[in-house]
Chains A and B, each alone.
Chain A
Amino acid sequence: MVSNRIKEHPILPIEKKKNIFFYWNGKRLTAKKDEVISSALFANSIKIFGHHHKDDKAQGIFCANGQCAKCTVIADGVPVKSCMTTVKQGMKIESVEGLPKLPETDEHQISNIEEVAYDVLIIGGGPAGLSAAIQLGKLNISILIVDDKSELGGKLVLQTHKFFGSVEDSYAGTRGNDIGKMLSHEVKENDKITVWTNSIALYVYKDRKVGILQADIYKLVKPKVILNAAGAREKFLRFKGNSLAGIYGAGAFQTLVNRDLVRPTKRLFIVGGGNVGLIAGYHALQAGIKVVGLVEALPKCGGYKVHADKLARLGVPIYTSHTVLKANGEESVESVTISKIDANFQPISGTEKTFACDTLLIAVGLESVSEFTDEAEKAGITVYAAGDAKEIAEASSAMFNGKIAGQMVAKEINNDVTDIPQSWYDKAEILKKEPGKTFEYNFPKQEKGVFPVIHCLQEIPCNPCSSICPTNSINMIGDPIMDLPVYEGKCVGCGKCVVICPGLAITLVDFRNDDNYPTITIPYEVKNHTVNIGDKLICVDIDGKYLATLKVEEVIDTKNNKKTQLIKLKSPKNIAKKIVSFRVQDKEVTQPLEMDTPEIDDDEMICLCEKVTAKEIKKLIRQGITDMNQIKAITRAGMGPCGAKSCDNLIKQLFRQEGVSLENVEKNTRRPLFVEVPLGKFADGGKK
């Protein structure tokens, strides 16, 4: 079987891990020690983990986050979530065909559940939770931070790109995974902070105790204050064929690729042009995955222009004002059909295009994990929220508002703590800002010496270029974070701005050696597509349009540049300032199929857990039902393992589509548990 392991990566280190063996439906396969079952299976090209008991359709990875149960397999006789269960030497793993069998067992442990008290409980060890913990760690109080992953850092761990935001407040210019390491190191060093990894908060109970499964042992935590920094979940999308295997979110994708270094797909298609989708596309290219295209329903991508530009320049077509019509395939995705949409978001007949792909990545927005906040409020525990759990924004914003939340919690516990300065709130506002206006190019006039060309044309909260310039020659026009950077002054050609720009949107043009053929310096981070001296590169402008084919003069790859290569080319003077980058992905990859795909009778799936279709739910809405709990009662939509985490939004969309205002809709009641937990865990506190 072909190995899908990523053996080289331009950014991530590839650690050598011990091989172990396991069995998949009787066949002996190889896994890496300590990896989760789902990644071991993907590494061995196994993407279908079983078939659903309701409709016999293929099941595979979906959230890769322990939240749903689509990836359930039988491991040594016990049904488990493969994305959360570590593969063991010699483990016998089987697919789940229909309902799993519960193994017979006589063994059991019964003991009391331990109760522990802390001043502050922080749920989630991502950018917000860690920043809050660091802020709180300066006080003499007890802090517990729980995170469901084996490593702190949350989604930072999965980010290979350099961060936006401001250098002094949110580590702008540093890669997300490196920021994650820095923050978690600081937290772990602080002895006032207790860290529970592999620990899932299950519910904040009415009797003011929080049920937490700490590394498989159930515990009850009594906090004085809770900080909800549990992040966000991804929204799902309704289209025909949306329940095929091979359709999942960016979180799952990045987990497989950037955490577990497994290549889950050969040809990826992305739905959604927000930052999440755009960045996932970039990560895919860095992992050696072909990115066939990206659709965005709006006329313009909602993510940062520099992210979209980066992708387009490398050779990924971005189809704006397009939607996904259907996913095609027997069990798993084999192709996707997209179509242009009109101003009312309705598909325009005759504009359909079908592309071969094996995976569809859905990145159509995030939604706060607000449950813990709601539960704590009900229980009467003081609670704050930070990061995506409070409000969806970039991780740079999460770090800063985490710091503010930390200070707020500190104040809650100890009134002597200094007040939060207004300037913090102002900065938090800036860091969470959506992209602002886009401006025309403002090319430098000069045609001698050396100078940077800034291809950053959209207002975004980002300022590393202005912070790093040793001659202070790059400055923001107005607001020091949000406004556009402008070069004016004396460039010494150090290239620091080129290296640090998270958008890879600064090039250097150097006329010092040649008045007609200046040398241009381009930043490059996809070095799995190797570039060598003498290679001829297809150089493109900001939008990915062809300008010229130029020969590589020099490749600079120094440790100081932190994995950003600098590629030097000689360019004719008339296009030198316009060249931003070069194409790495072959045009062939992105060509649509010429054949028509067969019409599928598959209805749009709303509840993937219980297999409830849009048709079934629409019928009830048309009967006048406005209580989501009644829809749940009748159809089981929302009654599955994920607890309505995906379908809740889709049902609300259906209401709106049917002309029912959400004000008149009774919301779905959420109940414990946050994720499914074996009954035996509640009977055994782990004490002998």
Chain B
Amino acid sequence: MNTYDVIIIGAGSIGVPTALSLSKKKLKVLVIDSQHSPGQVNNKKAIGGIRATHSDYGKIKVSQKSIEIFSTWKEKYGDDIGWIANGYSFPAYNKEDANKLKELMKIQHSFGLNIDWISPEEYEKKVPGIRTKDLQGSTFSPDDGSASPLLAINALYFESLKLGAEYKFNESVNDLYLENDRISKVVTNKGNYRSKYVINAAGNNAKQVGKLVGIDLPVKPDSHEGAITEPVERFFGPMVVDMRPTEGSANYYFYQNNEGQVIFCITPAPPIIGTDSDSTSVFLPQVAKRMIELYPRLANLKVRRTWRGQYPMSPDGFPIVGKSKRVNNLINAVGMCGQGFMLGPGLGELLANIVTEELSNEDKKALKSFDPYRSFSNIEQFK
């Protein structure tokens, strides 16, 4: 039987960067995925936004690391992953939202994040033609950005291959054998493998993987649809997040990527639980009405493709990352709540440090945000 230092279940947004980080540390890594190639479930459905401007220490730190990796990838490794530092913006169309965002900015500043409040006039310069009626101003965080999930995951994948990581595609984990509170054997439909550590990075299937060793992981995937347009000359700068809930949907967001295409996505309300990934007729009219109302200029932009994917949700909107107390060599990295792509590279480093027991104090502090044994009562407001 083949023996590895670490077996990662899932070659997605978390699994691939983690394999790279572990390989860099010269560990022998095997990644198992039921799909045909990396990132084929939810990674490729991500719209590609990457921000550090979250509301908690853990996500901020991890995302800062991710941004460092994404933004320097091309100069370090040569391949273009579509990174652009286009920034994020949360425009506020009522006083309440403006206040909430300004309050949050205080926390964000305390973590040293580069984010400012800009006036409606300044905002219109960044997003020319956006509706200014009732606009109170907007946050703007210029260090945030975006990259292509498709290019990024493949770049990371090929780099990890170079460093010796192994991948088994079209292979699904059917069982995890326990011996003395440790996973002694990973059983797939094609073979058996042993490793010192097992990382559950199974995204949508995280809960099912936990079940194999009797752990109940509170991860529930819910569905979101997204779309991409034709490319046009750059006409606006940052990611625009309209956080106002309305009937049938919560927030929605869009940005113009490195190719000049606008990518957008909406959060259905109430959430649509399940992993069905076939498109529905609801999405386009729902999101188009909101986008055109906010930004009429988008009316002439042609929609090219739409898709549906999942946010593997945790009860409070924060990821669940850390060692299992019951199964000694199992590390869970699950419940990314739709932010797996932006958290992935940073989290990969963190997970590698868990495995090699090289956690810094900052790492330990960050992991507290993701503690699998927290109460899940403090709901994330700015997802």
Listed in ascending order, the chain A residues whose CB lies under 8 Å from chain B are: 53, 69, 78-79, 98-108, 110, 112-113, 203, 205-207, 209, 211, 218, 220, 378-379, 625-627, 629-630, 632-634, 639, 641, 643, 666, 671-673, 676-684
Contacts and interface: CB of A to CB of B under 8 A. Distances in A.
Contacts of B278: 205-206, 378-379
B293 interface: yes
Nearest to B38: A630
A679 B292 contact: yes
A680 B300 contact: yes
B289 A110 contact: yes
Contact of B232 (A99, A105, A106): A99
Interface in B296-316: 296-307
Interface string B45-63: 0000000000000000000
Contacts of A102: 232-233, 235, 297, 300-301
B291 interface: yes
B11 to A, nearest CB: 11
Given A108-B296, A682-B285, A682-B303, A671 B37 contact: no
Contacts of A684: 292
Interface residues of B, number: 46
A666 B281 contact: no
B280 A633 contact: no
Interface in B126-184: 128-129, 150-151, 153-154, 169
Nearest to B260: A99
Interface in B186-234: 229-233
B327 interface: no
7 contacts: A79-B232, A633-B37, A639-B305, A643-B304, A673-B306, A678-B299, A679-B298
A116 to B, nearest CB: 13
Contacts of A632: 150
Nearest to B161: A623
A624 to B, nearest CB: 10
Contacts of A672: 279, 305-306
A676 B304 contact: yes
Contact of A666 (B36, B296, B299): B36
Given A102-B301, A218-B285, A641 B230 contact: yes
Contacts of B231: 53, 99
Given A626-B36, A671-B305, A676-B304, A105 B282 contact: no
Given A102-B235, A102-B301, A629-B36, A634 B288 contact: no
B380 interface: no
A110 B230 contact: no
Contacts of A104: 128-129, 297
Given A218-B285, A676-B304, A629 B40 contact: yes
A69 B37 CA distance: 29
B207 to A, nearest CB: 23
Nearest to A112: B285
Contacts of B40: 627, 629-630
A103 B299 CA distance: 10
A75 B280 CA distance: 32
Interface string B24-56: 000000000000111110001000000000000
Nearest to A378: B278
A627 B35 CA distance: 9
B241 to A, nearest CB: 18
**Which of B39, B235, B300 has most A Cβ within 10 Å?**
B300
A91 to B, nearest CB: 15
Interface in B224-271: 229-233, 235, 260
Contacts of A676: 229-230, 302-304
B298 to A, nearest CB: 5
A28 B330 CA distance: 73
Counting chain B CB atoms within 10 Å of each CB, the highest count among A107, A218, A634, A683 belongs to A683
Contacts of A643: 304-305
B154 A630 contact: yes
B32 to A, nearest CB: 16
Contacts of B260: 53, 99
Contacts of A666: 36-37
Contacts of A627: 36-37, 40, 169
A377 to B, nearest CB: 11
Contacts, number: 154
Nearest to B153: A633
Contact of B233 (A99, A220, A630): A99
Given A53-B231, A101-B232, A220-B281, A633 B36 contact: no
B249 to A, nearest CB: 14
Contact of B299 (A112, A671, A679): A679
B276 interface: yes
Given A102-B301, A673-B304, 12 more contacts: A69-B230, A104-B129, A107-B296, A206-B278, A206-B280, A629-B36, A633-B44, A633-B153, A671-B306, A676-B302, A677-B303, A678-B299
Nearest to A222: B281
B44 A679 contact: no
A206 B276 contact: yes
B262 to A, nearest CB: 8
A633 B154 contact: yes
A678 B300 CA distance: 5
A271 to B, nearest CB: 29
Contacts of A105: 129, 296-297, 299-300
Contact of B288 (A79, A99, A639, A683): A683
Nearest to B256: A102
B292 A683 contact: yes
B164 to A, nearest CB: 16
A665 to B, nearest CB: 9
B284 A682 contact: yes
Nearest to A77: B300
Contact of A79 (B230, B235, B306): B230
A269 B50 CA distance: 51
A368 to B, nearest CB: 21
B303 to A, nearest CB: 5
Contacts of B301: 102, 678-679
A634 B156 CA distance: 12
Nearest to B234: A99
B260 to A, nearest CB: 5
A655 to B, nearest CB: 13
A379 to B, nearest CB: 7
Contact of B292 (A110, A205, A218): A110
A207 B37 CA distance: 29
A209 B280 CA distance: 8
Given A108-B296, A630-B36, A677 B285 contact: no
Contact of A629 (B37, B279, B281, B297): B37
Contacts of B36: 626-627, 629-630, 666
B170 to A, nearest CB: 9
Contact of A633 (B150, B288, B291, B305): B150
Contacts of A220: 281
A206 B279 contact: yes
A211 B284 contact: yes
A627 B167 CA distance: 14
Contacts of A641: 230, 302, 304
A205 B281 contact: yes
A69 B303 CA distance: 12
A680 B150 contact: no
Nearest to B149: A633
B292 A680 contact: yes
B104 to A, nearest CB: 30
Contact of A211 (B281, B287, B289, B300): B281
Nearest to A631: B37
